[in-house]
Structure 1
Amino acid sequence: MTTARASGVQLHITSLPGGRLGPAARDFVDWLAAAGQSVWQVLPLSVPDEHHSPYKSPSAFAASPALLEDPHAPVAEEELDAFAAQESYWVGSWTDFGGDLADQVRFAREWAALRAYAAERGVRLMGDVPIYVAPDGADERAWPEFFREDAVAGCPPDAYAATGQLWGNPLYRWDALERDGYRWWIERLRRTFALFDLVRLDHFRGFAAYWAIPAGSETALGGRWEPGPGRALFDAATTALGPLPVVAEDLGDIDAPVIELRRALGYPGMAVLQFGFNPDDHDNTHDPDHLETDQVVYTGTHDNDTVCGWWETLPEDRRSLARRAWKDAGITTDGDSEPSWAMIELALQAPCGLAMVQAQDVLGLGSSARMNAPGIEGGWAWQMAAGALTPEHAERMRGLTAAAGRC
């Protein structure tokens, strides 16, 4: 994915001041460059559901018009025709569903301008590909043969939810997708890599085996593991598209086949430092002592509390392990007074090729700034105040990043 140590910040477009593309997005790129950061990670750009989640979108391909700086910019007929020809595989599914093709042309313009602006300043854009789509959305209506009716998606109990998570997304008929040469997935990835320099592939474990919950269930507890497509999907996509700059989101209930699949494909996995201090788990892959170069290390993800919120409720035995890790790594920050900055410094010092932090942690914000709590409806609403990220923040980030050899 990358040949040099690098670092970046996760901040979704909706969390920018104003929640749209335009000046606020360019200002953030400028801040990243000043802070010595070379990756900006966003959440999916897809149309969100009624709870504002971009992970349950009615289209795997269409971008959300709510992100547009100028939703009323004129669009010429020639532009519509060119875009429809370029994206012929999926535009019909979206317009049949009621989507406006002009919005996608406007988005293509604005996103291309932002990506060029970022590239000029040494900042790569990292996207996010949700594994599933929304029920009864454009994709399920256009390609019903690729989706199951007997079971829905979710996951078993894990660190996020004691009773598991009932997502309710339609599951794939992998046999039908295989017979079609995995074209739907190839076209989805083609669209994705036209927008981003690298992507986080959500719920990677679902490609090895996925949790299938009988339709109509009230919880995820009655589900069972069923086999995914394995590497066949990725081999087909690589043949069609070339090497895939993918980060595998391998969190949750991970077993040997998931690890073997990721390593066979050569994709880096993820480690989340908030999961790393557990006195009862001596084989914890998130433990700072166990981190590897082929991982992307996070202080926390959009599904975690902020570091300050996490620290507030962390039991003392786990706090002691964190303090020991900070001491062993030579962390200069006083973690008890500034836990988010101690964790940022720890992430930057890690052996992982890429280190990512949340903007909320740079700002030292508490639980009120949490983006999402898995399994609970709502969230996704946090927005950064204008001017919150200051030159002083940038100077501090640059100093720690340079000291860690990531600038």
Structure 2
Amino acid sequence: MRASGILMPVFSLPGPFGIGTLGKEAFAFVDFLADAKQTYWQILPIGPTGYGDSPYQSFSAFAGNPYFIDYRLLAADDLLTADEIPAEKPVGSVDYGALYNERPVILKKAADRLLAAPSPAYKAFCKEQAFWLEDYALFMAVKAAQGQAGLADWPDALRCRQPEAIAEAKAALAGSIGYYKAVQFFFYTQWNALKAYANSKGIKLVGDIPIYVSPDSSDLWTHPELFQTDGQMHLTQVAGCPPDAFAADGQLWGNPLYDWPVHKATGFAWWKQRMKHATSIYDVVRIDHFRGFESYYSIPAGNKTAAGGHWEKGPDRDFINAMHENLGEGGIIAEDLGYLTPEVKAMLSASGYPGMKIMQFAFDSRESGNYLPHTYHRNSVVYTGTHDNVTTEGWRTNASAEDVAYACRYLRCQPEELTEAMICACLASVSDTAVIPLADWLHLGSEARINTPSTQGSNWQWRLTCPLPEALAGHIAQLTVLYERAQ
């Protein structure tokens, strides 16, 4: 079935509270998608952001981001009063430092009201989500008590979960634990309402999960046996990507690597639980760095760059078979970008999951893969670019003159028409699904870039600061119908 969608992070939505939320602006964006005859809204990971404010470095593989909770919806539920909601701010880029200081103060007021008289819905939520919620809340409470220190810097007894230390923490931090559980209830109440509304309008939510968990996460703390550690919660090897034309030193992510033999011995129970959760909150799940299931780049912990790493074999078909048993064979997008060996391609083919095609890569002389549209196959998802790429307009103005000229020859357009031509090439391609970042539909330049890999300081901050043009939904709808992607 041919379909299309728009990539737009939740944090990039407009709104008066310093970051996009799950409030009326999110519902309005669903309406926009429906008017534009789209099928999918693709977002980025929605977990609580940790190091570098990256959604790919979260404190939990299961929790939701407290920054996305909408104050107005809490007030509608009588959990905040009107004077407790902060003054509305002009829409600008995300200031994570301000959110870090403001959010807990306001959310605690709402949490205190809920916990003073817990609702049946809250009790049911805690029971249903106990498999991750209890450990997450304790992790966050301990982290707060440790002055927000990272897991690696906690006292040995707490870091290594010695029973006496854990029992003492649960008793001493009961109030804080309750707060973190309440905040997750707020998040998922609002998230589930948004998802139900989107589905009622014919819009499916495409979620995104990182293959790896964060080194500062409840996942590592709770299940250290599933990761490559020294038995004292210290990582022995970490994740990343080898050097290539885009990053001379490679990419040092620093995430814990899985102990795959242990996962296999459990029948991949943790991954099955993770994917069951993900498919319950999203309609489709994109798994980041999917090639890492076939083989993964292993870097000695403590290395300053990724240059000294090596490849290790992953679980390959055993993992794929476990996911098929658990989920069936659909509902997954495999992010298969980067260095692809014949073995990776064979694993992807065996999975049946669609891989990704990036239109910008087709004309980038640094990219060794072949992403030209005439080579695509139906079981794929095509993008002009992703959150890790510059906008297409930014690519046009920053790429080499030779690369831009090549793109214009191939797409039969003038340079100033290149963004629209790439969008149309995506929509016209044989790929079953086409996803276009909202910034490309708006022809925005490099200022709208979401993330530049291997950099810190200015990522994950872009927001839509002006109203969408009135004619945009109609324009998108016309092209969607023209290329037979309307539902």
Deviations 1:347-377 (A, max 9, x none): 1111100001111111111111100000111
Alignment of 1:186 onto 2:272: yes
Match of 1:336 in 2: 415
- Range with greater deviation from structure 2 (228-237 or 204-213): 228-237
Give the number of the structure whose alpha-carbon radius of gyration is greater: 2
Cα contact 2:396–2:418 (8 A) shared by 1 = yes
2-structure distance, mates of 1:178, 1:84: 29
1-structure distance, mates of 2:236, 2:66: 33
1-structure distance, mates of 2:28, 2:419: 23
1-structure distance, mates of 2:366, 2:7: 30
Deviations 1:144-175 (A, max 9, x none): 11111211000012353222100001111111
Deviations 1:309-360 (A, max 9, x none): 1110222222222112212xxxxxx542243222111111111000011111
Question: Which protein has the bigger helix share?
Answer: 2
1-structure distance, mates of 2:219, 2:369: 38
Alignment of 1:375 onto 2:376: no
Alignment of 1:69 onto 2:154: no
Partner amino acid for 1:83?
F
- Range with greater deviation from structure 2 (108-117 or 71-80): 71-80
Equivalent residue for 2:381, pick from 292, 296, 311: 296
Match of 1:12 in 2: 9
Query: Offset of 1:94 from its aligned partner?
Result: 0.2
Query: Offset of 1:391 from its aligned partner?
Result: 2.4
Evaluate the alpha carbon distance shift between residue 296 and residue 195 of structure 1 in structure 2; reply closer, same or farther with a 3 A threshold: same
Match of 2:88 in 1: none
Match of 2:102 in 1: none
Query: Offset of 1:117 from its aligned partner?
Result: 1.1
Match of 1:142 in 2: 222
Cα contact 1:133–1:169 (8 A) shared by 2 = yes
Cα contact 2:389–2:451 (8 A) shared by 1 = yes
| Structural RMSD (CA) | 1.7
Equivalent residue for 2:410, pick from 325, 337, 358: 325
Partner amino acid for 1:322?
A
Cα contact 2:246–2:366 (8 A) shared by 1 = no
Cα contact 2:408–2:418 (8 A) shared by 1 = no
Partner amino acid for 1:208?
E
1-structure distance, mates of 2:482, 2:330: 30
Partner amino acid for 1:7?
S
Query: Offset of 1:305 from its aligned partner?
Result: 0.4
Cα contact 1:271–1:285 (8 A) shared by 2 = no
Partner amino acid for 1:394?
A
Per the normalisation by structure 1, the TM-score is 0.93
Query: Offset of 1:60 from its aligned partner?
Result: 0.8
2-structure distance, mates of 1:158, 1:67: 35
1:379-398 matches, cutoff 5 A? 379-387=459-467, 389-398=468-477
Query: Offset of 1:386 from its aligned partner?
Result: 4.1
Deviations 1:3-40 (A, max 9, x none): x1001100000000031111110111111111111100
Equivalent residue for 2:203, pick from 123, 136, 144: 123
Q: 5+ unaligned residues in a row in structure 1: which ranges? A: 328-333
Match of 2:240 in 1: 154
Alignment of 1:353 onto 2:432: yes
1-structure distance, mates of 2:357, 2:61: 26
2:130 is paired with a residue whose SS is coil
Cα contact 1:285–1:291 (8 A) shared by 2 = no
1-structure distance, mates of 2:280, 2:366: 44
1-structure distance, mates of 2:119, 2:365: 62
1-structure distance, mates of 2:216, 2:10: 26
Partner amino acid for 2:386?
T
Query: Offset of 1:279 from its aligned partner?
Result: 5.8
1:289 is paired with a residue whose SS is helix
Partner amino acid for 1:43?
L
- Range with greater deviation from structure 2 (75-84 or 302-311): 75-84
Equivalent residue for 1:315, pick from 393, 400, 410: 400
2-structure distance, mates of 1:280, 1:308: 18
Equivalent residue for 2:391, pick from 306, 328, 336: 306
Query: Offset of 1:186 from its aligned partner?
Result: 0.8
Q: 5+ unaligned residues in a row in structure 2: which ranges? A: 72-106, 142-179, 229-234
Alignment of 1:45 onto 2:41: no
Match of 2:444 in 1: 365
2-structure distance, mates of 1:272, 1:6: 17
Alignment of 1:223 onto 2:309: yes
Evaluate the alpha carbon distance shift between residue 191 and residue 134 of structure 1 in structure 2; reply closer, same or farther with a 3 A threshold: same
Cα contact 1:207–1:229 (8 A) shared by 2 = yes
2:48 is paired with a residue whose SS is coil
Cα contact 1:134–1:170 (8 A) shared by 2 = yes
2:277 is paired with a residue whose SS is helix
1-structure distance, mates of 2:264, 2:317: 12
Match of 1:330 in 2: none
Match of 1:87 in 2: 129
1:109-120 matches, cutoff 5 A? 109-120=189-200
Query: Offset of 1:402 from its aligned partner?
Result: 1.0
2:388 is paired with a residue whose SS is coil
2-structure distance, mates of 1:315, 1:368: 19
2-structure distance, mates of 1:17, 1:165: 31
Query: Offset of 1:81 from its aligned partner?
Result: 2.6
Match of 2:27 in 1: 26
2-structure distance, mates of 1:238, 1:386: 43
1:133 is paired with a residue whose SS is coil
Cα contact 1:152–1:212 (8 A) shared by 2 = yes
Cα contact 1:9–1:39 (8 A) shared by 2 = yes
